[in-house]
Structure 1
Amino acid sequence: MKLGVLTVLLSGKPFEEALAYLSESGVEMIEVGCGGYPGTAHADPDILLNNPEALEQFKNTIKKYNMTISALSCHGNPVHPQKEIAEGFHQAFEKTVLLAEKLGIQHINTFSGCPGDHDGAKYPNWVTCAWPEDYLQVLEYQWNEVLIPYWKNAVAFAKEHGVTKIGLEMHPGFCVYNPETLLKLRDAVGEEIGANFDPSHLYWQGIDPVIAIRKLDKAIFHFHAKDTKVDEANKAVNGVLDTKNYGDELNRSWIFRTVGYGHGTDEWKEIISMLKKIGYDYAISIEHEDSLMSINEGLQKAITFLKDVIIEETNDGMWWA
């Protein structure tokens, strides 16, 4: 396994300055935003796909700091009910795929997306219950008429350009938000669909990441190192569904934390060990969204914490037997 970082948190720095900082911090892999919600601060496909010199400079900068790209990220909602919004996210996805092809990368990270509840809808409709039965009809429409057809076409396009691992982040608000929905889409579309496994979004739903990793097994393509702290007092009163602003830390039922501040060393060692058991030996990519810490402090604490728990070396088999 190698320590990585989603470089979006360093969007305020030029790409080379960001890589120099990460290299000095002991980071080996980078996950780079190429559109959608992550933006294009460090990799703009409109430039890199049309300017060979810019592309070569981009690759040389990565090589200069002994980095490897773990994935290109273009998180968005390509099935948004407003067609112009959906098209923007879809174009970001396709451009990211084309850039991955140029760079020889197979991994793309994004969201599944969430449609509206009918063709004329204006906003996404995330279904969270099974009754009244109207909601089951919404799910039928979303999955069978929108989501599965979209991803069948998107996967076909990606495969044509050498991208065979589309890591969907299981994120509430989108149709794929837990292992069951991830596997449902994978079964319907193909093995090119997998997980960009982020335990932070699972913790507050009451999902055990260690057991979820065991369940997903080879469907895990990429891993986000991010934590969540559940406020038991607020949860006891209002449950875990929470629409208050992320900045209202004192009153929310949960908030994102840098790794180690939501769950301790023992928990993260169990996560890393289960990843090792299923054969995952790829990026442990830090996504820092801790609202209680600065960019630098939250990232540096995550790096220090993870260096102690990541299993870096290939084992020598059962050497004692």
Structure 2
Amino acid sequence: MKLGVFTVLFSDKNVDDMLDHVAAQGIEAVELGTGGYPGDAHCKVDELLDSENKQKEFMKKIKQRGLMVSALSCHANPLHPQKQIAEEADILFDKTVRLAGKLGIPIVNTFSGCPGDHENAKYPNWPVAPWPHDFQEILKWQWEEKIIPYWKKKAILAEEHDVKIGLELHGGFSVHTPANLLRLREACGPAIGANLDPSHMWWQGIDPVESIKLLGRENAIHHFHAKDTIIDQPNMNKNGLTDMTPYTDMRNRSWYFRTVGFGHDTKVWADMISALRMYGYDYVVSIEHEDGLMSINEGFAKAVANLKPVMVKESVGEMWWA
């Protein structure tokens, strides 16, 4: 298992400075944004697709520092009811898959997207209640007419380029729980899997260790994010888990993101790392920083320091005692 980072944190640095910085912190893998919400500060997909020489130079820079690329990430909403938004996300995803295939990067991370409630909708509609029955009708239409057909095509594209798709289980998008992910995977095939981020499990009331077990049994974890969450119970009592208080108003939110170790202690993170290994995930744990109480550099450094002691790196070998 390798310790990585989602380099969107360091979008103010050029590629060389970013790689030097993370390598100096003991990072072994980088997850690079190609556009969409993460931006493309360190991976210009169009430039790289058009030039084999640039592709070789790009990967050489990374390997020279003892690093690997865990994933290319293009988080966006390819199912957005506004066609221009959806088309931009769709084109970016296809380009990212093609580039990942050319560079030998096995994973492309993104969101599932969320459609509207009919063909002429203007905004996404995220049903989260089974009644009144209108919501069930919306959900049925979304899955049958939009979500499954779209991702069936993308799963085929990914397989053609020897790439797997890591969908981040994130509120506001159609695939946001282990059950959603497994439903889509059953419909579209094993190219679809999770980019599992425990921070989004906690605020939905899902135990991340149990989510690892549920998805791991199906070999459905393609990538893993390391980010923490804290629940403010008095605010949760007031606002509930689908809290619309802005992220910037942390004092009044039901929950908010923290750097690793500042929402849950080392034992909890050790349990997650152990569960990942138990269920066959031996890839990258990619640090993501969205902590409103810490600077990027401090949050990143503390996440590295808190994760290093619980990472399991060596192969098990033979159980000599059994």
TM-score, normalised by the number of residues in structure 2: 0.98
Give me the whole-angstrom Cα distance separating, in 1, the residues matched to 2:99 and 2:92.
Answer: 10
- 1:157-186 CA distance string (max 9 Å, x none): 2222221x1010000100100000000100
SS of 2:9's partner is helix
Residue 20 of structure 1 corresponds to which residue in structure 2?
Answer: 20
Q: CA deviation at 1:51?
A: 2.9
SS of 1:250's partner is helix
Q: Which amino acid aligns with 1:151?
A: W
Contact 1:34 1:72 in 2 (8 A): yes
Correspondences of 1:96-245 after superposition (within 5 Å) = 96-163=96-163, 165-217=164-216, 218-245=219-246
SS of 1:36's partner is coil
Q: CA deviation at 1:240?
A: 1.4
Q: CA deviation at 1:155?
A: 1.3
Work out the percentage of aligned pairs sharing the same amino acid. Answer: 55
Contact 2:107 2:166 in 1 (8 A): yes
Give me the whole-angstrom Cα distance separating, in 2, the residues matched to 1:273 and 1:37.
Answer: 31
Q: CA deviation at 1:101?
A: 1.3
Contact 1:222 1:283 in 2 (8 A): yes
Q: CA deviation at 1:50?
A: 1.2
Q: Which amino acid aligns with 1:162?
A: D
1:275 aligns with 2:276: yes
Give me the whole-angstrom Cα distance separating, in 2, the residues matched to 1:6 and 1:106.
Answer: 16
SS of 2:290's partner is coil
Q: CA deviation at 1:78?
A: 0.4
Give me the whole-angstrom Cα distance separating, in 1, the residues matched to 2:232 and 2:174.
Answer: 26
Give me the whole-angstrom Cα distance separating, in 2, the residues matched to 1:145 and 1:119.
Answer: 10
- 1:177-208 CA distance string (max 9 Å, x none): 00000001001111110000100001011000
Structure 1: unaligned runs, 5 residues or longer: none
Give me the whole-angstrom Cα distance separating, in 1, the residues matched to 2:14 and 2:253.
Answer: 34
SS of 2:172's partner is coil
Q: Which amino acid aligns with 1:152?
A: K
TM-score, normalised by the number of residues in structure 1: 0.98
Structure 2: unaligned runs, 5 residues or longer: none
Contact 1:35 1:93 in 2 (8 A): no
Residue 289 of structure 2 corresponds to which residue in structure 1?
Answer: 288
Give me the whole-angstrom Cα distance separating, in 2, the residues matched to 1:223 and 1:244.
Answer: 27
Give me the whole-angstrom Cα distance separating, in 1, the residues matched to 2:102 and 2:307.
Answer: 31
SS of 2:241's partner is coil
Contact 1:225 1:259 in 2 (8 A): yes
SS of 2:252's partner is coil
Q: Which amino acid aligns with 2:123?
A: Y
1:51 aligns with 2:38: no
Q: CA deviation at 1:247?
A: 1.0
Give me the whole-angstrom Cα distance separating, in 1, the residues matched to 2:224 and 2:239.
Answer: 30
- 1:259-301 CA distance string (max 9 Å, x none): 1001001111111111110011000000111111001000000
Contact 2:70 2:106 in 1 (8 A): no
Q: Which amino acid aligns with 1:299?
A: F
Two-structure CA RMSD over aligned residues (Å): 0.9
Give me the whole-angstrom Cα distance separating, in 2, the residues matched to 1:81 and 1:46.
Answer: 25
Residue 304 of structure 2 corresponds to which residue in structure 1?
Answer: 303
